Chain A
Amino acid sequence: MGNLFKIAIRNLMRYKRRTTLTASLVAIGVIFVLIFVGVTGSFKTMMTGQMTDSMLGHIQVHRRGYIASIDNLPLTMNMKPQAVKKLEKTFQGMPDIESYSLRIKFGGIFSSFTETTNIRLNGVYPEMEMKTLPLFASRITTGEKTIKKGEIVIPELLSRGMKVNVGDTIVVIANNKDGSVNGKQLRVSGIIESITGPGGRDGYVHIEDAMEILRMEEPEISEIAIRLKDFGKLHAVYDSLTAMLAGEQNNQGKPAFEVHTWEDLTPFYNIIRMIDIMTIFIKIMLIAIVLISVMNVMIMAVYERIREIGTIAAIGTMPGRILSMFVIEGFLLGILGAVAGNVMGIGIIYILKAVKITFAFGRQTGLVLSPTVALQDIAMISLIVIVVAVLGSLQPAFKASRMEPIKALRHV
């Protein structure tokens, strides 16, 4: 086998310019794929982080049917305290869950005494919310980075539109579950940055204020956001939680709760899916580049060496060994292109990281692009290149191995 490699290397070196051009073409393909994967990966990670760590959490649990009517924020679809206790007990028994946050979501009227508008609010336990959403506090751009009783954190668009600032007093009025109306005066303690996505323009109050406005004696929870210790276990935890809650049934004999991952809750997940699909297409283009370039160069190699093939076949070289000679050349071209592409691609990714390119996502600006590429991506891309290079050389190699020595020796 070592001798086959030696002959293959020498044959590649024999046509240095052609080998360099082909390997360069393969390397350029690898560089583009690595940069694309690195940049889009960074964008995906950032987008996912924004969604999960500042709004949604990793998983959410609601009463069955709540998500279908979430635009109305129906108080009648909240979970009873007993049900919530059961759920909390379940979460506490799951070691993969790091924290969870109980929320009462409701809609109301926001009055600055001179103007009124509508507002969507979340009544939360501040400690639970901050623990479950680590980026939440960083979204509060002005004022205190917490939510105290008697205070409200309002979205920045509302602050600007209503000309309400930190320290001002406002009134929140909301319909209760029974249809009656109640209101409470609150002090604006902070202004929260609006972000793109569901819940990105909601205000926040302490859960006890929410209960008071909604005249709840005990907290009736609309939504539970869950944070996992390891984001990689998202689907495993989702599956086990769904299975565990499947036994809890409502009066109609159907499951009482519905469990959703963050992917189900935001339309931006489709953008991530689209990026994944684009990555597949980019990889297909890489395959095409490698296949065509390696196949082309190997067809040329076979054509130029027909008499040599005839000679080695005449002196008794087995067809399988002739095939191996050419396949190894394709394999080495793939390795050369993959190694060169990886080295240069990783170098460019490091440069992009060092340059700190910024971009905007929705209303958020100044997000820093931090491209990284995982070892498994490098391994996968290299594997694709090498396998495709071998496949690209198979047809010419097969043709060489099937050549009649008598015809090959006559070739001029």
Chain B
Amino acid sequence: MELMKATNIVKDYMVGEVAIRALDRLNFTIDSASFISFVGPSGSGKTTLLNLIGCLDKPTEGTLTVAGTDVASLDRRQGAAFRGANIGFIFQDFNLLPVLTVYENIEYPLLMVQNVPAKEREERIMKLLDAVGMLEQEGKYPDQISGGQKQRVAVARALVTNPRLVLADEPTANLDHKTAYMVIELMKKMRDEFRTTFIFSTHDQKIVGEAEIIYTLEDGQITEREEKGGNNRG
């Protein structure tokens, strides 16, 4: 089932008076419950593309439909509401709120974005804490846990709202290889358990191989689309 579709996506940035093309006529579709990676060197447009998919930015040209919604048509409030209901985010620097405990960080989107009742909140959080192996750390603050644990909390926070799509921009960049691999495995496990689509960007070749579909970006264009078990030029 198709979750998102990009048609002739272009994104230009103005640097002074010069327009820089970050994405150049991208066309692709992504199905639900897929595990996808965008790879490419620094400056290839991975983050720009993830920002567009995550409704954090709008394309200069073309159409981008996520979960049946043209994301370019959303205003600030609609964009926030759409993200809150459909998209989970995992950041390179974890971006946990330092004043909230592990439990409260996972609870935050349920409480402040979706207004989920207390009982249901607790059930969902405990289930995810268990799933990411952080049950015993629930009362700790982010500065009391390791980087790998922080990213596990971030995964739980991204999944707690039952989003249709989780976007992870370089989720393993600040982790050692072993921890990075564990985080990717965790994301995969979560995909299997919750049937959520995961899209992550990385330039770590060892991690890339974990994705089921790999898009390679170079200079704002998709140069390659690789599916496990096959290799297609994009």
A residues with a Cβ closer than 8 A to B are 3, 7, 10-11, 13-14, 307-308, 310-319, 321, 404-406, 409
Contact = CB atoms under 8 A, between A and B. Distances in A.
Interface stretch (B50-58, B59-67, B179-187): B50-58
B97 A308 contact: yes
Given A3-B111, A311-B91, A406-B51, A318 B77 contact: yes
Contact of A3 (B51, B57, B112): B112
B85 interface: yes
A314 B54 contact: yes
12 contacts: A3-B111, A3-B112, A11-B99, A14-B98, A14-B99, A307-B95, A315-B83, A315-B113, A316-B81, A316-B82, A316-B84, A409-B56
A315 B109 contact: yes
B89 interface: yes
A156 B115 CA distance: 80
A372 B113 CA distance: 49
Nearest to B52: A406
A312 B97 contact: yes
A316 B91 CA distance: 15
Contacts of B54: 314
Interface residues of B, number: 30
B145 interface: no
Given A316-B81, A316-B83, A311 B112 contact: no
Given A317-B80, A318-B81, A406-B57, A312 B99 contact: no
A397 to B, nearest CB: 16
B173 interface: no
Contacts of B88: 315
Nearest to B83: A316
A11 to B, nearest CB: 6
A5 to B, nearest CB: 12
A291 B85 CA distance: 38
B56 A405 contact: yes
B76 interface: yes
A315 B108 contact: yes
Contact of B89 (A10, A11, A307, A314): A314
A308 B108 CA distance: 13
B6 interface: no
Nearest 7 pairs of A and B residues by beta carbon: A316-B84, A10-B99, A311-B95, A316-B113, A406-B56, A316-B83, A406-B57
Nearest to B82: A316
A404 B58 CA distance: 12
B91 A409 contact: yes
Contacts of A317: 80, 84, 112-113
B76 A319 contact: yes
A172 to B, nearest CB: 84
Nearest to B111: A3
A315 B83 CA distance: 6
A319 B111 CA distance: 15
B157 interface: yes
